[in-house]
Each structure stands twice: as C-alpha cells, then as structure tokens.
Structure 1
Amino acid sequence: MRNIASILWALGISLFFSTNALASTKVNDDHYLLGPGDQIQILVYNEADLSMKLIIDQSGNIIYPLVGKLQLTGKTPDQVATYIRNKLKDGFINNPMVTVIIAKFRDIYVSGEVKLPGSYQYQPGLTLEKAIALAGGFTDRADRDDVEIRTSNGQLLTDVSSTKTVNPGDTIIIDQSFF
C-alpha cells in the first residue's frame, strides 16, 4: 500500500511539472488573432465527428460541419469556440462544450542575404535573431544593420533589434551591404 502511494505521489509530481513546462511554452491564445495558414483544432466534448483539425484557407475561412463556412481571420480561438458553441446549441446539440486551440501556426518567411531563405515554422517566443539562425545565418554580403520585418498585416518595421519578437506570417528581409 505504501509503495502504491509513493508511486502515485511521484506520478502526480511529474504530471505537475510537465503541465507547467507545457504552459510556459504556450502562446497566449486569448490575444492571438487567427489568419490564413494557421491550423486549428476544434474539440467538441463527446462528439468525435465534430472534433477535427482544419487549416484556415487563404481567404481566412474554414468549412465546419453543421455550421458551414466561417470567416476566422482576426478572431481569437476563444471567439471562434463561442461562435461554434452557439451555432451547435441552436438545434443540434444540447449544451455543447467546444474548445478551439492552435495546432500549428502559420509560417514566417526569411528572405534576402541569409544562407537558406524560405519559410519556417513559427515557434512561440521566436525572435529576429532566432529566425535568422533558422535560416542558416547571414551571408558574407548581408547588411547586418539593415534588417526589416514586414508584418502579416503589411506594416514595414525598419531598424529592428535582434531581440524583436517575430510573429506568425511575418517576413524578415535582410538587405545586401555595399561593402
């Protein structure tokens, strides 16, 4: 009996620490605005047929059973869950419990004078310095002082610090130096 109690205690402690580790890497879904290329997971409690992963298309939409076409660009996962919950409650399911999480973020892009320009999977906590490292680092011709970020909403940021946070959908542009 004592052995079982110590095993359960050890499992509880390890679960506590693993849950805290996951929580520390999780992006704050309350403020994250969805956009084309994001993959979301919709979970409906006790409704396996309505629980699924979907990728938001280039026009910002998904098609969800019983609800139809949903425009998700600019909405938070919580807003989407509330909308789906209300639609399912309206004649389909009594008191549905709906959760929407981000399964995969849209990519970031690194272009210009890096060794491996291209698209890269966004990771929570990504900085400009880390994104450039993902792209293999600067080339010999890179102007390390002339780095720009075009945000997913089209805004151009110039003179950005290497510690600047990069967001899903951003494009990092590394210009060529003259010398």
Structure 2
Amino acid sequence: MLSSQRFNLQVLAKVSLLTCALGLTACAKHNIETAPRNEVRFYGTPGENGDAFIHEQAPQTLFSQNLDCSEFQNMGAALNYRVDKALTIKDNSPLTGENDPILSQGLLLSPGDLVEVLIEDGEGFNGRYIIDNAGFVKLPLIGSISAAGKSINMVETDIELALVRAHIFQPASAMVTMQVLNWSSIEVSVAGAVFQPGRVVINKKDLQSTLPDQVNAFGDYSTTRLLSEAIRAASGIRPDAKLDQVILIRKGWQVQVDMTGMLSGEVVRDYPLVSGDRVIVPSTGCFQAHLVRPSQITPKGFRVFMSNLIDSAGDNSSAAVGRYSTNLPYGTRLLQAAVSANCVGGKDWTNAPRRVVLSSKNPITGETQVIERSVEELITMPSKGEINPYLMPNDAVACYDSNITNYRDIARTIADILIPFKLL
C-alpha cells in the first residue's frame, strides 16, 4: 500500500513538473516581445528597390542618447558617392590617348621608382637612383630634381636644364637619357562603393621571383599599377557600384572610366596609376546581382561567421564548421552557406523545420539587418531572391533547431530532473 502511494506521488510529481516546464516554456516564448526578422528590403536581395542616400555623406547611425556624439558621428566613416551627370570634354568627342588629360601622360614616376640616368661624357652623374619619399631624385652637384608625378621625358629635360644652369654643360652638349629599371609599389586612395575604402598599396613585387634577364634589362613593365588593381586592393566593388562611371582624379584632372568590361568581357581602358591618385566608385543605390561573382575587380571569396550548435553536432569542430567552410566564394547564397554550415540534411521530420538566421550590414545605410529563413523554404524556393539572398563579406549565419528537437531536449531535461525521484 505504501509503495503504491509512493508510486502515485512520483507520477503526479513528474506530470506536474512536465506541465509546469511546458507551461513556463510556452509562456516565456509568448510573453517575450520579439522583433520581426523579415525586413522589407535586405541588401543581398536582387530586384528590390534601392536605398536613397545623400552625395558624399556617411551612413547615418544612432549613437548613445546620454552623450552629444553629433560632432564625431561621421568621423572616419566611408562616404557614399553618386554621379549626377556624365563627364564630357568641350567638343563632346570620346576620350582618346590624345585628348585624355590622364591617359595621355602615360605611366608617371612615383616615389620608390628605380631609374638609371645616362649622360654623355657625364661619368660623375651616371648611375642608378631611387626617387625619395618627397618625390625628388638627387644628383651630384646639381642637387634635387623633382620627378614624382612627371614623365621620363619631363625629368630628362629638367636635368638638362639644371646641368646648363650650373654651368657644367653647354646647351648643345647636355644630352640626358633616363630609363626606369623598376616600378615600385605605390599608395592610392579608393572611396565609394567598395568593400574596404581607404588607402591601398598596389604593385607589390617579390624581387626573388624576378628573372635575372629582367633585372639586367633596361626598362620595366608593371601589370599591377593599374586602376583595376587599386579597386581590387580595396576588396573589390560592391553590388551597388556604378561600374560605368568610375572616377579617377589626379592633380585636379578627373576622368570617368567604364569598367563594365571587367565582368562582361568587353574592351576596358585600364588606366596606369601614380602615387597620390584618387579613385571613386559611385553607387547606384541598387543591388545588382550580375556584379556578385568573382572577377578582377570583385572579391574572389570572403569570410562568413557561422554557428551550428545543433543537436547532431555539439560544437563547430565536430560540425565541420572550420576554415574552408567559413571562407566562401563570392556569389554564395544563404542556402549554400546553410549547407556549408551543416544545417541541411539528416532526419527529414526533425531537421527539415530548422531555421537559419542571417545577419548582414547594409553598406549604403549602415544598418545591421537580420532575417530568418526555414531550411524547408530555402530548399523549396532557392531561386527567389527574397527567400535566398546573397551573402556579403563578414556576414553571420546561425542555425536553430526545429521545435521537435527543442521539445525532445526539454523532455530529456525534465527526465534528468526526475531521476532523483526514481531513486526513492
């Protein structure tokens, strides 16, 4: 009789605890106010309306209400640029090598370039020189000659005039020849619709990989002191870039360059750059899906932060969420990222209702956006952009269990709590 009563008490305790736990879970779930995770627009969704922005203004963000941060709100922030009208020359003729104010100059000298100066009957002046940080090449007796930002012919003329003014050579006998032996790396500024605007260094070379014939030969050719290389060094263009009107500014001159051929295969005039040039990639304000793929001016790949702490994998290591799964090729969509994070697959009834949360920052507005998609939605409607958006660099992807798995874990937890009752 006593054992029967004890058994009934244990059953009642289990039922009451189970009811209480389920009730508390349901109440907690419904009483907590949750923010909506499905926004009207999401940067990464093709076909959506664009975001409006003010020319040369940083994205507006909200700072602390207790401090007056308005003075420092946009300090160091990346600016948005737009092209209000096309740049044209006076006679409206297309730019060529003759009338282009930048292309007609050719590849100009920059600090760090290695040049060789040859002067007839000028044994004391002949030699190899490096243009210093101030942009000068220093020759014996005549001193410093400005070289940075000038063509070779211009520097040759300046050296000849300096030799004549120093009464070292007669005007008819001052013959100077200059050769560039090595184009150095240079620093240029890139702004606008690129993933990492700022100052970039291009044309980095590994001298050990240079062939001996190239070292001994006169002259040098650079394949990476170009406009496309500067854009790539800034982590590439964003999907909202206005690729047909990239602006290049040099010493007050500016030209617009059509870079669409970098993705379409058409001929592109890739401008050679010099130190101090400024590159601006305007924004359309719209997400352009055809720009989301690896190319010479877009990222080859990017890093995504993933979390897959689900029942089938107790941690990210056993879930195979490692280096190669979080470094994804550019153009990856949410479904592919979910597969890479090991969120898709397994038992159909328990794993199909899983949910995937994507957190991304809109580079135009500066807002952090979060959306939630079920695995079943991603699998059944992968071609819909609003369901399966593109991923951008430094996005975060997290997987959540299905309700069935959650209830199973709750039951296991309650069973662990009730184990002491069984020992009575």
Pick the TM interval, shorter chain. Answer: 0.5 to 0.7
- Which of 109, 113, 118 is matched with 1:39 structurally? 113
Q: Is the 8 A contact 1:126 1:165 kept in 2?
A: no
Separation in structure 2 between the aligned mates of residue 99 and residue 127 of structure 1, nearest angstrom: 26
Larger RCO: 1 or 2 (CA < 8 Å, sep 6+): 1
Q: What TM-score does the superposition give when structure 2 sets the normalisation length?
A: 0.27
CA distance in 1 between counterparts of 2:124 and 2:237 reads 47
Question: Relative to 1, partners in 2 of residues 1:43 and 1:156: Cα closer, same or farther, differing over 3 Å?
Answer: closer
Match among 176, 184, 195 for residue 115 of structure 1:
195
Between the aligned partners of 1:39 and 1:124, the Cα distance in structure 2 is: 15
Q: State the Cα deviation string for residues 116-137 of structure 1 (Å, max 9, x = none).
A: 4332335458664454234322
Larger Cα Rg: Structure 1 or Structure 2? 2
Gaps of 5+ in 1: 1-30
Greater strand proportion: 1
- 2:183 pairs with 1:104: yes
Q: Distance in 2 between matches of 1:155 and 1:74?
A: 13
Structure 2, unpaired ranges of 5+: 1-104, 204-221, 260-267, 287-424
Q: Structure 1 55/136 Cα, relative in aligned 2: closer, same or farther at 3 Å?
A: same
Aligned equivalents of 1:137, 1:69: Cα separation in 2: 38
| 1:168 correspondence with 2:249 | no
Aligned match for 1:84, one of 159, 165, 175? 159
- Alignment partners' CA distance in 2, 1:114 and 1:55: 31
Instruction: Return closer, same or farther for 1:167/1:161 CA change in 2, 3 Å cut-off.
Output: same
Q: CA shift at 1:161, angstroms?
A: 0.7
Change (3 A) 1:56 1:34: farther
Counterpart amino acid of 2:113?
Q
Looking at structure 1, the residues matched to 255 and 125 of structure 2 have their Cα atoms a distance apart, in angstroms, of 44
Q: Is the 8 A contact 1:44 1:98 kept in 2?
A: yes
Q: Kindly tell me: are residues 76 and 145 of structure 1, through their superposed partners in 2, closer, same or farther at Cα, counting changes over 3 Å? A: closer
- Counterpart contact for 1:147–1:172, Cα < 8 Å: no
Deviations 1:120-159 (A, max 9, x none): 335458664454234322235x32347432321222334x
Between the two proteins, the alignment pairs up a number of residues equal to 145
Question: Structure 1's 148 and 77: CA in aligned 2 closer, same or farther, altered over 3 A?
Answer: same
> Within 5 Å, which residues of 2 pair with 1:1-179?
32=106, 34=108, 37=111, 39-44=113-118, 47=123, 50-55=126-131, 57-58=133-134, 61-72=136-147, 75-81=150-156, 83-84=158-159, 87=163, 90-91=167-168, 98-102=176-180, 103-104=182-183, 106-117=186-197, 118-121=199-202, 123-124=222-223, 128-140=227-239, 142-145=240-243, 147-158=245-256, 160-162=257-259, 163-169=268-274, 170-179=277-286
